[in-house]
Structure 1
Amino acid sequence: MSTTQASTVASTRVGALPSFSPLRTISLGLRRIPLELKMYFRAGDQVFFTFLFPTLIYSLFATVFSEQDLPGELTMATYYLPGLIAGAILLSGVQNLATDIAVEKSDGTLKRLGGSPLSPVSYFVGKLGQVIVTSLLQIGLLVAVAVLAFGAQLPTTAEAWGIIVWVYVLGIAACAFAGIALSAVPRSGKTASAVVIPIVLVLQFVSGVYLQFSMLPEWLQTASGLFPVRWMAQGLRAAFLPDTWAAQEPNGSWDLWLVALNLVAWIVAALVLSRLTFRWIHKDR
């Protein structure tokens, strides 16, 4: 079989779509998702610090603070759960993509992909698919441990679960695009973790993930509103905690419309930034 014939057969096998059609671009991206997942779970340090970390921190907090009294029948195991879910979304989107893309840019992987027919859209469809799958698995593990090991209470109304769904969708999109944009900051793959992890940790501390949000100074609560994790945590608290806890929020209410508005704004801003900053190779090369 000639080279031309082989190319024709290969094109036919993927659905006889035009080489650069939107359907082919998406199809190639979807086919990259299993590959991205395989590479993700093969990296032991990434699995620990991104995938297992929220569950380990939750287990530590739920154990250490198990005897602390909260108003009503709310337990610390239930109180910490929405914040750690927000933290898991942040890790899956920002830390995962920022370090992963920076490393691939540094070791020449992106340069090789840039010289191939692969579209950047296909590349990012694979990355976003990996983020969605791993974040859902991560949250599933966290919730399972919270309920089975620590007796955390899950929401019981359809409205609360609806809030969880749209906060997750907006939050994972905002964090994924922010992670892509942040990947342009590290100057090499070796420094990626040193640059990204401190940023992610600080954001979690000031956004009500590790500390009770009402305990933070008022100026810090206001400053945390500039970042998506604060709004994800607030939206998830609205789903998990009793309505009486809304009084602990800065405005004395859950302000779900404000949660949605800020997450959508972050999606738009991070998408623009990622589009402006992404390169197959570093600019200084």
Structure 2
Amino acid sequence: MTTTAPAPHVTAPESRARAATTRTDRPLPGLFRASYVRSVAELRGFFRNIQSVVFTLALPVILLVIFGSIFSGTIEGTNTDFKQYFVAGIIAAGVMSTAFTGLAINVTLERELGLIRRLASSPMPKGAYFVGKVVLVAVTCLLETILLVAIGTAFFGLDLPVDAGHWIAFGWILVLGTAAMALSGLAYTALIPSAATAPAIVTPPFLVLQFISGVFFPFNQLPDWMQTVAGFFPLKWLTQGFRYVFLPVDFQVVEAGGVWNLPAIALMLALWIFLAGFLTLVTFKWHGPKVK
């Protein structure tokens, strides 16, 4: 006859210690997995807020409808209707509105509410937060662009590209432009002290760059100094890229140098991705202002 030895008695403190050890031994989620989870959370949070979705997508559409209905005639020196020119510019402005303005304000609010600080203190790799935001902006910008292109084609005479080369260019210009604007928005949050001041600090550069980057007025008709200043910022190159995609090939005669200059567009947008990404890494604040 065999007997079974009684199980050793485990005290409550020992049980908690073993559970803690088990949790500690579990591998932490990697950057890829954490980025996926964070991206899904960002997208769910955005699309569940119907008011946020409508407001984000509505502003560029409103500008397109108002200004596209007001202006008429052709661009001087070309046979291109101003409405076509304006639609190409407002698509670029829509990307900046979503990826720069909206993201900078949203991140500042999350920082002040303490969400970013809590995420930073969790096991989640910090890089996953940025990936989640970029994915959210990329999806939103794509929807915004599709909406503006559809309206421009249906009501304002925008011609869609008919060859693969222009569609390929459209793809990489949209990707580079969205990334440059999103990282610029993240870097810009370092200059915003609180959520209450965010709109006042973010809106002025957005408005100024629209006026000097060829969104509302033909770029070649702007003063030389405005063209020079605009050339340092990504919106000018994004608008130029979309003009290449959607405007007739002979429109390039009024572009700088009389050419579309796609290599310069790619180079400047890539430089802004690098610069804004570096500034985000060294200046991003993971906590809001201290409460006195």
Residue identity opposite 1:281 in structure 2: H
The answer to whether the 8 A contact 1:26-1:125 is kept is no
The answer to whether residue 131 in structure 2 is matched with residue 131 in structure 1 is: no
Bigger Rg, which one: 2
The answer to whether the 8 A contact 1:30-1:129 is kept is no
1:19 to 17, 23, 28: 28
The answer to whether the 8 A contact 1:80-1:209 is kept is yes
The answer to whether the 8 A contact 1:221-1:250 is kept is no
Change (3 A) 1:227 1:88: same
Change (3 A) 1:111 1:75: same
Residue identity opposite 1:174 in structure 2: A
After superposition, give the CA deviation of every residue in 1:160-201 in whole Å (9 maximum; x if it has no partner).
111111111111111111111001111001111111011111
Give 1:88-167 correspondences, 5 Å limit.
Answer: 88-167=94-173
The answer to whether the 8 A contact 1:29-1:122 is kept is yes
The answer to whether residue 229 in structure 2 is matched with residue 220 in structure 1 is: no
User: What residue number does 1:44 align with?
Assistant: 51
The answer to whether the 8 A contact 2:252-2:259 is kept is yes
Give 1:262 deviation, angstroms: 0.8
The answer to whether the 8 A contact 1:28-1:122 is kept is yes
Give the 3-state SS of the residue equivalent to 2:256 in structure 1.
coil
User: What residue number does 2:279 align with?
Assistant: 273
User: What residue number does 1:231 align with?
Assistant: 237
Change (3 A) 1:185 1:150: same
After superposition, give the CA deviation of every residue in 1:178-230 in whole Å (9 maximum; x if it has no partner).
11100111100111111101111111111011211122111101110000010
Give 1:284 deviation, angstroms: 6.5
Change (3 A) 1:72 1:184: closer
Give 1:247-262 correspondences, 5 Å limit.
Answer: 247-262=253-268
Residue identity opposite 2:177 in structure 1: G
Give 1:140 deviation, angstroms: 0.9
Q: Which runs of 5+ in 2 are unaligned?
A: 1-14
Residue identity opposite 2:148 in structure 1: L
Identity of aligned residues (%): 37
Residue identity opposite 1:69 in structure 2: T
- TM-score normalised by the chain length of structure 2: 0.85
The answer to whether residue 183 in structure 2 is matched with residue 177 in structure 1 is: yes
Distance 1:262 1:159 in 2: 20
Give the total of aligned pairs. 274
The answer to whether the 8 A contact 2:101-2:185 is kept is yes
After superposition, give the CA deviation of every residue in 1:31-56 in whole Å (9 maximum; x if it has no partner).
222332343342736742x3221111
RMSD of equivalent CA atoms: 2.6
- TM-score normalised by the chain length of structure 1: 0.87
Change (3 A) 1:194 1:72: closer
Distance 1:203 1:166 in 2: 22
Give 1:76 deviation, angstroms: 2.9
The answer to whether residue 66 in structure 2 is matched with residue 60 in structure 1 is: yes
Residue identity opposite 2:270 in structure 1: V
Give the 3-state SS of the residue equivalent to 1:201 in structure 2.
helix
Change (3 A) 1:43 1:134: same
The answer to whether residue 80 in structure 2 is matched with residue 74 in structure 1 is: yes
User: What residue number does 1:32 align with?
Assistant: 38
Residue identity opposite 1:68 in structure 2: G
| Structure 1, 153-162 or 222-231: larger mean CA deviation | 153-162
